[in-house]
Structure 1
Amino acid sequence: MTDRYLEAVRARLPEIRDFVAREPFAILPVGSTEQHGPHLPTGTDTMIAETMALETAKLSRGLVLPALPLGYAWVWRDVPGTLTLRFDTYMQVIRDVAESLDRWGIKALYVISGHGSNPQPLKHALRELIHDRYGIHMLYGMYGGLKEMTAEADSKPWADDFHAEEIETSLMLAIAPDLVRMDLAAPDYPPVPPDYGKSELSMGHIMRSGVFGDPTPATAEKGRRWIGLGAARSAALWTGFLARHGLISQEDQGEQQ
């Protein structure tokens, strides 16, 4: 499968031209720069997205683009270390990326997010700024397998969301263990006000340590398994999307699943 994926940042112009002529598909990892409690780095979401994008491409196909390290992180905007783009700005950035790819022959783009708030502006960028305006087809969303990861986790989730808990900590232990301080990891389940998610209240308003859940059961072994799971689910979604748009054959889709 190595001839079906290529890392753009490691490739030269002739390689990219040859690759795109054969495989006119791209995968864009998008993350965020934001707090992840006392034990995880601010680049957690970006590193997870980058890893998931590369592993997805290995199981499917596509030119893996450089990760976008700035996301829509409104909820953490007052917390030191956070860099956020405005909703409209983020939409325009994604539109500009899609336009750039469209100009040099990319037929489909898969935006894989490692940050939970990015899919909101991604959805509106696709609907309002990209679809019917460019020839490129766009798929977006969080990396796959999250429901299965949550079911497999040993800790209980916080409300209907997660942040810096067992799943993200396990993934980071597999990706960059030298950046994880498990000696500082501790569970935290902030109370959920009745109007949370229905008013101005966000995770940033109710955070205490910055953790939402329990990171202490995290292990690198879980992280490696969940990276494989996430990549497999994302690859299946991606190849199905390409087949639905007639960009690859049904037989080709089956070979990659």
Structure 2
Amino acid sequence: MYLADEAWPELEEYFAEESLALVPLGSTEQHGPHLPESTDHTIAEAFAREAAERTGFLCTPTVNVGVSPHHRQFPGTMWVDPPEFRDYVESFTRNLAYHGIDRVVFVNAHGGNVQHLREVGRRVRDDGTAYAVEWMWDESIPELVDEVFEQNGPHGGPKETAMMQYLDGEHVHDDRLEAARDGGVASVADADTVKHGSRTFYDAIDNTDNGVLGDQTDATAEKGERLFEAASDQLVQLCEWLDDQRFEDLLPKDRV
């Protein structure tokens, strides 16, 4: 069920019977010269809608702009500052709780959002409002990602490229894959910006001239579909597990 497509009587029925919602979150930021800036939010929404379709749980509209100031040097990147992002996400999470939702899965596809979603989850859990947990698709199937790609890369690499070839191939520039690889670096380690245990970089451009980390030349839509199906299975299982828990068991333990 997609919240924005429903009228309030149908949503009233859902809230009377169910207490779980999926919230997709991503970013609007550079993903190299070959991928659209919609990459992260397109992927997040696809997973959330797929899991909602399979389970019947509620999917909310997508948060399309995230914490992305580290990509700001590349044209078109949009971002919000971390405090405003946390406050916004916390506010609408409490709004969902007002309607009867007490467990939320943040279906997240942008690494820059992770620590802030975790902080929001702690806030609403600590005061007993809801249990909110962050989920990222590639972290749910790490062995498969490593199996499928020679160099999977953390940003604009083959895993995101394959996923977008599958979900929205029209906006992938397949003719730029080799140039994207050659103008970027394989990994942060290859960028040589970790010095004596310190990460000396703050922005993506400190590591890679074109914003790419990884070798995307072995990405295909077929590989993207395989990853999508496997990670969707993991998200469905997470939702079903979370739905089975007693809410009291999800709250903080008593002080020792």
TM-score (norm: length of structure 1): 0.86
CA contact under 8 A between 1:8 and 1:64: conserved in structure 2?
A: yes
Please give the alpha-carbon distance, in whole angstroms, between the structure 2 residues aligned to 1:203 and 1:30.
20
Partner of 1:244: 245
Of residues 83, 86, 89, the one that matches 2:81 is 86
State the Cα distance separating 1:71 from its structure 2 match: 0.6
Instruction: Determine the structure 2 residue equivalent to 1:228.
Output: 229
Moved more, 39-48 or 216-225: 216-225
3-state SS in 1 of match to 2:4? helix
Report how far residue 134 of structure 1 moved.
4.7
Identity among equivalent pairs (%): 27
**Aligned residue among 101, 108, 122 for 1:106:** 101
The one-character-per-residue Cα deviations of 1:68-98 (angstroms, maximum 9, x if unpaired) are 0011112112321111111111110111011
Q: Which residue number corresponds to residue 183 of structure 1?
A: 175
Structure 2 residues without counterparts, runs of 5 or longer = 249-256
Q: How far apart are residue 165 of structure 1 and its match?
A: 1.2
Separation in structure 2 between the aligned mates of residue 171 and residue 197 of structure 1, nearest angstrom: 32
2:194 alignment counterpart: 194
**What is the aligned partner in structure 2 of residue 170 from structure 1?**
162
Q: 18-27 vs 65-74, which deviates more?
A: 18-27
How far the C-alpha of 1:177 sits from its partner, in A, is 0.9
Shift of 1:204: 3.3
Shift of 1:246: 4.9
Structure 1 gaps, min length 5: 1-5, 248-257
- 2:26 aligned residue: 31
| Contact 1:102–1:135, Cα closer than 8 Å, also in 2 | yes
Take 2:91 and 2:225, find their aligned partners in 1: how far apart are those partners? Answer: 34
In terms of fraction of residues, the more helix-rich structure is 2
Deviation at 1:226, TM superposition (A): 0.8
Secondary structure at the aligned position of 2:112 is classed as coil
Matching residue within 100, 106, 126 for 2:121: 126
Give 1:29 deviation, angstroms.
0.3
Q: What is the rounded CA distance, in whole Å, between the counterparts of 1:101 and 1:217 in structure 2?
A: 41
Q: Which residue identity does 1:203 align to in structure 2?
A: A
| 2:32 aligned partner, one-letter code | G
1:130-156 deviation per Cα after TM superposition (whole angstroms, max 9, x unaligned): 223352221113125341342222331
Count of matched residue pairs: 238
Residue 145 (str. 1) matches residue 140 (str. 2):
yes
Does structure 2 retain, via aligned residues, the 8 Å contact 1:149–1:167? Answer: no
What is residue 95 of structure 1 aligned with on the other side?
Answer: 90
* C-alpha separation in 2, matches of 1:81 and 1:197: 30
2:173 and 2:73 mapped to 1: Cα distance? 23
CA RMSD after TM alignment = 1.9
Alpha carbons of 1:110 and 1:14: their partners in 2 closer, same or farther (altered >3 Å)?
same
Q: Which residue of 1 aligns with 2:60?
A: 65
Secondary structure of the corresponding residue to residue 163 of structure 2 = helix
Contact 1:155/1:213, CA 8 A, preserved across alignment: no
User: Which ranges of 4 or more aligned residues in structure 1 deviate by more than 6 Å?
Assistant: none
The answer as to 2:136 corresponding to 1:135 is no
SS at match of 1:111: strand
Counterpart position of 2:253? none
